[in-house]
Chains A and B, each alone.
Chain A
Amino acid sequence: DIQMTQFPSFVSASVGDRVTITCRASQTIEDWVAWFQQSPGKAPKTVMYRASTLENGVPVRFSGSGSGTEFTLTIDTLQPEDFATYYCQQYKSFPWTFGQGTRVDIK
């Protein structure tokens, strides 16, 4: 199985800050990575796919990068609605696997 190591597990930030979350794959997965945002009690929402393609309707302050084994999700100018937990997922090969999650909290 491909392991997805996500860090940090917790980020404390303020509105207007820039936040970067990283996922490292245990083997190369090209750009088959997606990022999801989950607010408490809600279903996840897709933010990014194919590492750097913004899902429809997601604000452009979200950006993704990386290929191979290292990937980042960056949120520029953090907004109140961005405080949530973020997960990466590889879908290069089965079984598809998720990172452990990064909680972005208000400082």
Chain B
Amino acid sequence: QPQLQASGPGLVKPSETLSLTCTVSGDSINNGNYYWGWIRQPPGKGLEWVGNIYSSGLTYYNPSLESRTSISVDTSKNQFFLRLKSVTAADTGVYFCARGNVWKSPWVWGQGTLAAVSS
């Protein structure tokens, strides 16, 4: 099983951009069998899908976040990234990165990272 570890600044000011990194070990992010995604969870609430990136470079985003969201990959570092622009307090939560397989389990979960939006 791969290991995925999300990391980020922890605290972001309102209207700024949240930038998160997911570092993958034990698997190549180039593996065409998989896609890579972000899911978030506000404090005390449920899970919300943010978006996916596929080995082709194709991305899909939650329409509720699409205008502010960008997911990208750095294959040389075996990492993928989430950028969320113009954040508000509603973007506060734990952000999980995960790996999916189209024909098998949709998610192998990584450890999340807490992102708090506050001035």
Contact = CB atoms under 8 A, between A and B. Distances in A.
Interface of A: 1, 34, 36, 43-46, 49, 55, 87, 89, 91, 94-101
Given A43-B111, A44-B96, A91 B47 contact: no
Given A43-B96, A43-B112, A95-B62, A34 B46 contact: no
12 contacts: A44-B47, A44-B107, A46-B109, A49-B104, A49-B106, A89-B47, A89-B106, A91-B106, A95-B64, A96-B106, A99-B46, A101-B46
A49 B105 contact: yes
Contact of A45 (B39, B61, B104, B109): B109
B110 interface: yes
Interface residues of B, number: 20
A95 B63 contact: yes
Contacts, number: 51
A87 B46 contact: yes
A96 B107 CA distance: 12
Interface of B: 39, 46-49, 60-64, 96, 104-112
A83 B104 CA distance: 26
Q: Is the interface of B mostly helix, strand, loop or mixed?
A: loop
Contact of B47 (A1, A49, A87, A95): A87
A95 B46 contact: no
A64 to B, nearest CB: 13
B99 to A, nearest CB: 11
A35 to B, nearest CB: 10
Given A34-B106, A46-B105, 12 more contacts: A34-B105, A44-B39, A44-B96, A44-B109, A45-B109, A49-B104, A49-B106, A91-B106, A95-B49, A95-B64, A96-B106, A97-B49
Contacts of A97: 49
B71 to A, nearest CB: 13
A33 to B, nearest CB: 9
